[in-house]
Each structure stands twice: as C-alpha cells, then as structure tokens.
Structure 1
Amino acid sequence: MSLLLLRMPVTSSYLHRDLDNMPGDLLVALTQLIQKALAAAYYPVKWFGAIVEFLLNFVAVNGGLLGVIWSIMRCNLVIRLNRDAPNFRTVMALVDDRTELKRSPGAAVSDMRRLWTKNGKCTEAALLPVTFEVTVMAAKIAYENAAYIENVVANVWKFNFVGYYSCWNKFLKVNATQAFVMTDRGKDADMVMVAFRGTQMFSTQDWSTDVNLSWLRLGGMGNVHAGFLKALGLQEEDGEDAARAFPRDAPAAVTPGKVVAYYELRKVLRELLQEHPRARVVITGHSLGGALAVLFPAVLALHGERDILGRLGAVHTYGQPRVGDDAFVGFFRAKVAADYTRVVYRYDMVPRVPFDAPPVARFSHGGTCVYYDGWNVGRVLGGGEEVPNPNYVNPRHALSVYGGAMGDLLKAMLLWVKTGGEYREGAVSMLYRAAVGMLVPGIASHSPRDYVNAIRLGRIGTAAG
C-alpha cells in the first residue's frame, strides 16, 4: 500500500510501544505475532524484491526475452540499471505501464472544476469517471522514482511538475514517506495536486505498519491509526496533549534531507496557493497513500489552516484503509468541506482493514464510497450501506472472494479483445494475478491497474446495472 518505505527492521520494543494504545486487547497478541513475522522476513523479502525488479527491468530495457537474446548476439546488452532513472520501474509499473491520460489533461481538469462548483450540466455521477482519471493515474505513478514521475507529469501529461518529496519519519529514523506535487499549468493554475505514495510491495515493514491496529487520540480529531500519524509527521506519542504530539509549528531545527511530510507539504501548498490565486487543491493516493491523503487535510483542520482548507477541492482515494474511529470520521465531515470520495474495487482487502468490528476494533470509514464490481459497474453507496464482506475475514464470502480472483484473471486474458490494446495485460501482470491472486485474492484486487480500468471503463449510478 504505500509510503512507508522502511529500511530498518521493526524491534520488539517498538511493537510493544505501538500496541499500548490498541483498541480491543483481544487482537494484541495476533497483531504482535503478525508484525514479528513480518519483521523477521524483512531482509529476505527486501533482497528478493530487489532481484525481481532488477530482472524484470533488465528484460524490459533490452526489449523482452527475444530482445535479450538479440542484444547478446550483437554485444549490445544493457546490464547496468539505475534505480533512479526515468526508465526504471517498480513492480507496480511493470504490472501496469500505462502513463497516458485517456482524456486530455485540460479537459479532465475542466471537468474537475465543474464537479467542484456543480454548475455544469453533467451529473456528479456522470463526471466521476472523467474527473477521477487524473487522480487515479497520479496515485499510480506515485509509486515510482522522482525522475520517472517528473517525466510523466511534464512530458506525457504536459502538466507542471513542482517537486518530489521524500520525508523523514522520526520513529523509524528513515525517509519513509514519499509524495509529489504538480499543477496543471506553470502560471495561473486551476489545480494543485498532492499525490501520496502507497505501500511498496516488497516492504514487509510497510505491511507491518498497515496491519498495526494501534491508535492515538488527538484531541477533538478522535482516535487515529498510529502508523499513519507517524508517517505524516507525528512528533510525540502523547495522547493527552495533541499540541505536543502533532504541534502546529514545524520542528525548530530540521536537518537537511530530513523534512517532515506534513510540514513540508503544507509549506509548499501555502506558496503555490499564493502563486496561483485561482487554483484548487486536490489530494490523492492509493492504499496507504490514500490514508495519508485523508489524514493530511484532517491535521490541517486540527491546526486551523483555513487558507488551504478553503481552497481544497477534492480528496480522492483508491483502495484506502480505515484511518480512525467514528469521532475522526465526524471531525473530518465537520471540518473539511471538500469532495471526499474513496473508490473500492471488488474484494480489495486493504479498504476492509483495520477492522470495523466493535467492541474488538472500532475503525470506521468516511466520505462517499464508490464501489466497483468485477464488470466495472460502480455504485455510489449511501445510507450506511457497506461494501460486500466489509471486514474481509467472513468465511461466508470465501468462495466469492476466490471466485472473484479467478474471474479477474480470466477477464484480464480477454478484456483487450473488446476494449482495445490498452487493456492487454503483459506477462508480469498475469503472473501477479495468478500467483498472488490465488494465494491472497484480496491483495491481487488491490492493484492500481484494476482501479485505472474501473475508472476508465466503469459507469456510475446509484444502483448497479
């Protein structure tokens, strides 16, 4: 899922401290067991992932398997790969290497403004697929390195790339949170977008943070997932004093290269909104990136940042986990006046955790949920309606969950016949669906590829059909 690209193993003392504020003591032992197992697997998974990505990129830059053979014959084989180069891709991009916007960038931003103002002729439901394309694609490319992102933003989308930010997590003592910022134009922009990075596939510490059920209370903001708070910029684990735990002012002394996500991105937005007086802010992210996309404006509200919140147009998240309790959901609804929509694809596991299962765990979702089924038919859920199998672990849904994974695999083989070559999936994507999907189907459904397909191919209504 996201942004916590951790490089140091999680210690047992860290785990214990994190679990002190955990809702539902019955889950403490299970959570700690899972986290210890993930911590033990840190180095094997890290090196396995590095090898896999090197091999896949090696084949890709040499033109495929046949290209490797031909390059060997011509003594023209590319062996040295730079992970920071614009052509180096993570598994996320190797699974789905699309970068082009189906709709022109200018038209997509124009439709987004119509959705904000609600003055256009199109209904909100009809606008969702076109306005969400920019945010879902930004959330997808946020997994890549800075050079890759800048190349796509500037040369493919023809937007203005502002910057890539790799930010410090004082609890992990590593730059663990990444995001990038862009505007639709260099001058007089209509849109300023912040896109948070999601969980890296081969980071067991990312997954350890995601499965952690601990939370911390920040005054009127309610209880919030502690790992997400730390990724955004929590300074002290003090549930009694919100001003000390997450102070309004940035830390007095910031070591070069150790900027904190919340404070750095807030500073960037302040400057950009002064530079672009008509611009509205859009915040997006996939997976844990989606969680941070929700938490960021909530902390802005906690600090009374009205200048930024007054120009917040939309928060769009994809495969976002639950962030806090009912009090947090109510705080966000009351204090953040923006279009907050979270998209859930089929049986994606991540939006179904942490659990909403009182009295054991009390995490809740907020915003408007758009749920897409396996045929990319979307429903805007309302009136307290939940997605199917809301906590994922209900055995009654096991057959449907595995059937859904098999259906997605079969559909992936044939979808391009009807919809065109853009939807033809390569060997890496098929292998991912077959291997991961049949082992843990809720993870395969979490791929940004399915979210891009849902937005581009889907239709929205108040009822599926």
Structure 2
Amino acid sequence: MAARQLAYPSEAVPPPPPKAGEQKLIMRPEKARFVDILSLMLLRKPVTSYPFVDAGDQTAATGITPGDLLVALTQLIQKLLDATYYPAKWIGAALEFLLNFITLNGGLLGIIWNIITRKLMVPLNRDVPNFLTMVALVDGRTELKQNPTAAAVNMLNLQVGSHEWQRLLEVTVMAAKIAYENAAYIENVVSNVWKFNFVGHYNCWNKFLQLDATQAFVATDRAKNADMVLVSFRGTQVFDTQDWSTDVNLSWIGLGDMGHVHIGFLKALGLQEEGGQDAERAFPRNAPADEVPSGKIVAYYELRKVVREQLLKHPRARVVVTGHSLGGALAVLFPAVLALHEERDILGRLAAVHTYGQPRVGNDAFAEFFRARVAAAKDYLRVVYRYDVVPRVPFDAPPVAEFSHGGTCVYYDGWYDGRVLAGDVPNPNYFDSRYALSMYGNALGDLVKAMFLWVKAGRDYREGAVSLHFRATGLLVPGVASHSPHDYVNAVRLGRIALN
C-alpha cells in the first residue's frame, strides 16, 4: 500500500501567493522529494527556494539557508513517519486489543478458565472505563499519592521545591497521564478515585486535518466552592506517527507580538488561517461558527468557554493547566492565545502551567511574550526527564527555524535527582554524538533500575512485563522510552530537587 500522506486537505492545491508582510515558513514533507533532501545536505541553496516550502514574502526576502543538516534530517524523519503511519496504527490497535484481552481476563490462566465458564471478556469497545491505552498498560496507577486539594495548596505563592508546590505537581502529572485515556476512564478516575468533580471531556475539531484530533478534560477539586479548575490536554499518542510528525515539524508562522509559533500545535488548538500576517485572522477572538461543521467544537474556544463558566460558578477558584508531550505544548499555547486576546478575566485567575516532556513551541519572542503577558509565567514549569527526545524537538535550527523553551525547567536524571536549569537541557538537539554513550547507558540503567526499584520504593513502583518491554525500546532509540509518563510520575513522587 502506498505510504499515507500527512497533507492537509487544503494542501491538495498549490498554496496562494504570499500576502505582503507575511512571516511564515511551512514545510510540507509530503511534497519533499529525496533529491530535495539530498540538495539540503550538500548545497547552500535558500530553503525558501524549494517547492515543498511555503514561505511568506518577508521570510523569503531574507534568503534563508539551511545552516546545517537539521532541516534535511527533519524531512527524513517525517518521511519515515509518513511511511509507517498505517503499520504503526494497525500494530498499535492489535497490541492494545491483545493486552486488554489478557488484562480483562486475569492473564492466560484466566482466559482458559473464562472460556470454560463462558465468561470470556472481549475488549471490543474502546470507550469503556476499563479499556486501557498503551500509556495506562505501561503505568496503571491512578491514585493521587497525597490526595491534595487546592484548598490545601496556597496557589498564590507557589515556590519550586516547597511542600505545597509538590502537592500541586502530584495533581498535574497524574492529570497529564490520564488525559491519554477515553472519556469514561477519565471520568471514573477523577470522580471515584480522586473524589474531584468531573466537568467534561472534549474531543475537538482540527479544520486542517478534518477530524477530531485534539482531546482535553476539565475538572474541579470540588463540585461546590471549588478552589481549582484543572485543564489537562492529551499528548502524543504512542502509535500515531502523525502526532510524532507534528512534534518534529519545523514549520512556523509569525503572530505579531507572539513571535514565531509552531504551526502544528496552533492547528491542534484551533488555528483558522495559515497566513503569518494578521494574528486576528489566523486566530480570531470569536469562535468561527461558519468554519466548524455542525456538532463539532474547537479546542481553544470550547475550553475558554468552559473555564469561564467554571470561574463564574466558583468565585475563589484558580486555573491550573497541564499536559504531557504535545499536550504540554497545548497547555502553553492555551494561555498564550488567551493573552493575545486579552482575556484578563481568565488570565487574572491563572495559577500554574505545568508541562511534562513538552516540545518547543516558539522562538525567543514567544517565550518573552509568555513571560510578560501570562500571569502564571512565574509558575510555568517544564519538567524534563533525562534524555526524553520530545523536549529536544522541534530542532532549534536557526536561521530557518528558531525554537526555544521558556519557563522554569526542572530536569531529573536517571535516579530522579532534580535540579532547576538556567538554560536548555543537555544535548538540546538530541543528535549530538558526544552524548551517545551517556544516552545508551541511561537507557540500560533505566531498564535495570525498573526491575528492582520496587524493592526500595515499594509495591507501587513494581513494573510489569509491558512496562519493561517498553523500556527496552530505549536500547534501540534512546530517549523514546524516557518520554513515557511513567518516569514523570516517578520523578514527581520520588525526586529530590536541588534549588541552587
């Protein structure tokens, strides 16, 4: 079968000529030929001269050159992800079915017994509370270790490393983890395990992909007089190579004061136009009713409405936004677009933005915009576990694509010793050969540690066969296994943070 194209429907026709003043650089990997990739590696032709690159007039006028191999490498990675879309999707569906089948029936002996007793359970419905994605199959923990409520956390004065900060971190890391599951699973955990109030699960429309591709849920710590409104975005799905392709894509558009912002993440949140000229047209203040099919919702506009309703209902409540992986990128973009639209009623009650394994979202100008305009910038926390690959993409490849991180980075090593970093993480673009030995050594160390950590830390840290096999993938591609929410939960619960 031919490789699946990751193009958007609007990309089936040639892009319109650039408008005066546009700042954008959109790379369309489905149009990139291998001769183009080879040319990027060997020649110094302007990137904007290639047919797979859609550049605004201001961007094209700069005569951008590749600078290094990162642009070509990105195209190769995206070609590979494109070619493996259907195999990964089918293998993932089959594997999750098999593992859920085994789990539901209590193992192989349970399957035999249930066949004999005619009680065999077959997981045909993925939308029930007991169906698990690969994330939950690797790490099935659902409880909150300290069961904190916002009332027990002074969300007006959170200090990195403090006990109150740690209690809130427990909520956000678990919310980021369970966001990968279906709505029924999330509602059951939020309502019956955490004893929080489940507000809703939102499956949101992406006009460029023409499907519901963005998921998030909202909860409050209590049904009445709540102190916390929690928003959690779902991250990169394990077997969805389109999600992974979005993470590594170097494409960006300029949104005025917001700077250059990753276009794939913007589209997931609700971008309406690709042009990099007018921020209001690209991301209009009001929901574009005429552009959205009947019965569909767009992430930014729907979540803005829901959060505003909850803040009116709970006058004391403060907003906390979180997400893992791509969900972390959306957790940063959501308040940033609120700031673009000057939504002071929500931003004035924003307490924290916590992300885990978050990819880069924009350039230095975007990081400065967030710091200056978002009230929670003082508690915008990025948690990174060791050599996790995703916080190191999209590659920072100036002058083609300048991507950088903002916020406060808490970086955990292989033994969950954390420290606050002033700059970027080690090996920031992932492919520095000087780190190869350390990366493979860390992957092996994580696998060995996982077998015995429970002896010291307790039964909650015993890892099963699925988790151990997943960790073994790190021996092939270091940094992939480190991206699992499993290590982020362990880091929050077991980690120690040096504040110097």
| Coarse TM-score class (shorter-chain normalised) | over 0.9
Residue in structure 1 matched with residue 319 of structure 2 by the alignment: 281
The alpha carbon displacement at 1:390 in A equals: 1.5
**What does residue range 8-87 of structure 1 map to in structure 2 within 5 Å?**
9-11=5-7, 15=29, 16=31, 19-21=53-55, 25=66, 27-87=70-130
The alpha carbon displacement at 1:359 in A equals: 3.5
The answer as to 2:334 corresponding to 1:296 is yes
Quick check: 1:81–1:88 contact (8 Å CA) kept in 2? no
The answer as to 2:440 corresponding to 1:440 is no
**TM-score by structure 2 length?**
0.86
Alpha-carbon distance in 1 for matches of 2:430, 2:152? 35
The alpha carbon displacement at 1:28 in A equals: 4.4
CA deviation digits over 1:150-206, x for unaligned, max 9? 000000000000000000000000000000000001111100011000011111111
SS at match of 1:418: helix
The alpha carbon displacement at 1:399 in A equals: 0.3
The answer as to 2:190 corresponding to 1:194 is no
Quick check: 2:138–2:486 contact (8 Å CA) kept in 1? yes
Alpha-carbon distance in 2 for matches of 1:271, 1:181? 11
Residue in structure 1 matched with residue 419 of structure 2 by the alignment: 379
Which among 231, 254, 272 is matched to residue 217 of structure 1? Answer: 254
**What does residue range 199-348 of structure 1 map to in structure 2 within 5 Å?**
199-253=236-290, 254-338=292-376, 339-348=379-388
**What does residue range 166-185 of structure 1 map to in structure 2 within 5 Å?**
166-185=203-222
Which among 368, 371, 374 is matched to residue 408 of structure 2? Answer: 368
CA deviation digits over 1:50-71, x for unaligned, max 9? 1000000000000012211222
Alpha-carbon distance in 1 for matches of 2:464, 2:255? 46
Alpha-carbon distance in 1 for matches of 2:440, 2:160? 33
SS at match of 1:406: helix
The alpha carbon displacement at 1:19 in A equals: 4.1
SS at match of 2:428: coil
The alpha carbon displacement at 1:389 in A equals: 1.2
Alpha-carbon distance in 2 for matches of 1:416, 1:24? 51
Alpha-carbon distance in 2 for matches of 1:175, 1:92? 20
Quick check: 2:230–2:320 contact (8 Å CA) kept in 1? yes
The answer as to 2:193 corresponding to 1:132 is no
Alpha-carbon distance in 2 for matches of 1:62, 1:132? 34
The alpha carbon displacement at 1:403 in A equals: 0.3
The answer as to 2:175 corresponding to 1:141 is no
Amino acid at match of 2:455: V
Amino acid at match of 1:451: Y
Residue in structure 2 matched with residue 352 of structure 1 by the alignment: 392
Between Structure 1 and Structure 2, how many residues are aligned? 446
Q: Aligned pair in 2 of structure 1 residues 81, 252: CA closer, same or farther (>3 Å)?
A: closer
Residue in structure 2 matched with residue 101 of structure 1 by the alignment: 144
The alpha carbon displacement at 1:77 in A equals: 1.5
Residue in structure 2 matched with residue 4 of structure 1 by the alignment: none
The alpha carbon displacement at 1:9 in A equals: 4.2
Amino acid at match of 1:441: P
User: Which ranges of structure 2 fall in alignment gaps of 5 or more residues?
Assistant: 13-27, 32-50
Quick check: 1:45–1:204 contact (8 Å CA) kept in 2? yes
Quick check: 1:18–1:226 contact (8 Å CA) kept in 2? no
Quick check: 2:252–2:401 contact (8 Å CA) kept in 1? no
SS at match of 2:345: helix
- Which 10-residue stretch deviates more, 453-462 or 172-181? 453-462
Larger Rg: 2
Alpha-carbon distance in 2 for matches of 1:34, 1:105? 42
Amino acid at match of 2:214: T
Amino acid at match of 2:160: E
User: Which ranges of structure 1 fall in alignment gaps of 5 or more residues?
Assistant: 1-7
SS at match of 2:333: helix
> What is the alpha-carbon root mean square deviation over aligned residues?
1.8
Quick check: 1:179–1:194 contact (8 Å CA) kept in 2? yes
Alpha-carbon distance in 1 for matches of 2:123, 2:450? 33
Residue in structure 2 matched with residue 394 of structure 1 by the alignment: 432
SS at match of 2:479: helix
Alpha-carbon distance in 2 for matches of 1:381, 1:44? 39
Alpha-carbon distance in 1 for matches of 2:78, 2:174? 31
Residue in structure 2 matched with residue 5 of structure 1 by the alignment: none
Alpha-carbon distance in 2 for matches of 1:165, 1:64? 33
Q: Aligned pair in 2 of structure 1 residues 105, 256: CA closer, same or farther (>3 Å)?
A: farther
SS at match of 1:234: coil
Alpha-carbon distance in 2 for matches of 1:18, 1:193? 40
Alpha-carbon distance in 2 for matches of 1:34, 1:251? 34
SS at match of 1:200: coil
Amino acid at match of 1:48: I
Alpha-carbon distance in 1 for matches of 2:440, 2:75? 27
CA deviation digits over 1:409-442, x for unaligned, max 9? 00000000011100000110001011x1111120
- Which 10-residue stretch deviates more, 184-193 or 373-382? 373-382
Alpha-carbon distance in 2 for matches of 1:25, 1:171? 27
Alpha-carbon distance in 2 for matches of 1:443, 1:425? 17
Task: Return the structure number with greater relative CO, CA threshold 8 A, min gap 6.
Answer: 1
Quick check: 1:129–1:459 contact (8 Å CA) kept in 2? no
Which among 444, 459, 471 is matched to residue 421 of structure 1? Answer: 459
The answer as to 2:460 corresponding to 1:410 is no
Alpha-carbon distance in 2 for matches of 1:19, 1:291? 24
The alpha carbon displacement at 1:451 in A equals: 0.1
Amino acid at match of 1:321: P
The alpha carbon displacement at 1:35 in A equals: 2.1
Alpha-carbon distance in 2 for matches of 1:285, 1:84? 21
Amino acid at match of 1:389: N
Alpha-carbon distance in 2 for matches of 1:305, 1:285? 21
